[in-house]
Amino acid sequence: MSDNKNIRIKDIAEMAGVSVGTVDRVIHKRGKVAEEVRKKVENVLQSTGYKPNLLARTLGSKKALKIALLIPDPKQDEYWALAESGVKPSLEEWSQYGLEIAPNFFDLYESTSFATSAKEVLSSKPDGVIVAPIFHNESLNLFAELDRDQIPYVLFNTNIPEAQPLSFIGQDLYQSGKVGGELLSLDNTEKKGVAVFHIHESIDNSVHLKAKETGLRDFLGTAYDIESYDLNHVNSGELNQIVSKILHQSDLGAAFVSTSQGTNIIATLMEKHNCTHIKLVGYDLLAANLHYLEKGVINFLINQNPKRMTQVGISHLTNHLLFHKELPREELFPLEIISKQNVGSYLNSRIH
């Protein structure tokens, strides 16, 4: 079909009987080109299937991309530390293109903190933004401004249907809950009591945690006795008491925790109260979770892969800005099942 040899702008120019400057103008829709000429050039472009050489394009331009990252403070929650850890490899991957990543952290417990950080992001005039929109309303404000300034942005971890991001990166939470149910039901124990724990900080987020719960309930059906507990903003003393009571219900056979940090909190209490026989399924490869997985207190973890979410988000943004690549509106990660036996292969793998 087409020649193996790559077609250059120069070739297009010759074929269309114009200069490279005109072809350039047509390709980038800049400057003025006579309508007749434009059509001719576009025809040639079309028929030859011209693809610009990205190397040459980027080499010449020399502009440093500035991407802002807006996530909760990694010090507050290891989950976000994992997310942040994706920055470094991304910088290395894209260092050739002069990529700059400016991380902005906000307080997981303060929506005002989010708003403040969002302002800082905006005033830094980034070329693109990747954001974990934990706080709904404040996020919408940010998106409005980004839309106005024509700054592309990628959402990750939490989706916001009203937003029009370049893409969303995350998981199907409902299906995630189903996987949780599947894992809990593996052991056909007599005990049909299942406790669902939502231990989180922001009420905004609880919508998403409920999606997991719905998936879990839909999978387990009526054969199980599912009770859910919303334990946000509870101090550890209270938590201990409440959970202790729950764990000692005679019929309780399994527990599902919808958050990564919550997973090891429950695991700690299970161990403390000698309830390690209760099946436990939670989220993510936090150090404490790995510890309890190893010990057998946690039976399975579902990996959300925050590190890779960050990397993919940055990659999408960079590909868009640098190469004008078409990207999927939604990038749903696989629901990775992590057990004691396969956890090592995940931790050692560079792929993940």
> Does 207 help bind its own copies (rule: CB under 8 A)?
no
Residue range at the interface with its own copies (CB under 8 A); choices 30-38, 108-116, 122-130, 324-332: 324-332
Position among 73, 93, 182, 230 found at the interface with its own copies (CB under 8 A):
182
* Side chain identity, residue 279: K
> Does 139 help bind its own copies (rule: CB under 8 A)?
no
Position among 28, 29, 30, 51 found at the interface with its own copies (CB under 8 A):
51
Q: Single out the residue of 289, 277, 290, 293 nearest to residue 187, CA to CA.
A: 277
Question: Between 44 and 199, whose beta carbon lies closer to DNA?
Answer: 44
Position among 149, 187, 238, 294 found at the interface with its own copies (CB under 8 A):
187
Q: Is the dihedral of CA 339, 78, 216, 274 positive or negative?
A: positive
The half-sphere exposure of 111 on its side-chain side, counting CA atoms within 13 A, is 13
CB-based contact 135:70 (threshold 8 Å): no
> Does 351 help bind its own copies (rule: CB under 8 A)?
yes
Q: How much of the chain is in helix, strand and coil states, percent to nearest 5?
A: 50, 15, 35
Q: How far is the CB of 145 from DNA (least distance, A)?
A: 24
**Neighbour-count burial for 144-154, b at 16+ CB within 10 Å, e otherwise:** eebeeeebbbb
Q: How far is 254 from 279, CA to CA, in rounded Å?
A: 4
Question: Between 150 and 349, whose beta carbon lies closer to its own copies?
Answer: 349
CB-based contact 65:97 (threshold 8 Å): yes
Which residues does 204 contact at the CB level (< 8 Å), separation at least 6?
111, 134, 135, 136
Q: How far is the CB of 335 from its own copies (least distance, A)?
A: 4
The interface partner of residue 308, options being DNA, its own copies, none and the CB cut-off 5 to 8 Å by kind, is its own copies
Residues 77-116, one symbol each (x = binds its own copies by CB under 8 A, - = not), give: ------------------xxxx------------------
Kindly state the helix (H) or strand (E) to which residue 318 belongs, with its residue range: helix 306-323
Which positions touch DNA (CB under 7 A)?
A: 6, 8-10, 18-22, 24-25, 27-28, 30-37, 52-53, 56-57, 59-62
What residue ranges bind its own copies (CB under 8 A)? 4, 6, 51, 53-56, 58-59, 64, 95-98, 171-172, 175, 178-179, 181-183, 186-188, 219, 308, 312, 328, 331-342, 344-346, 348-352
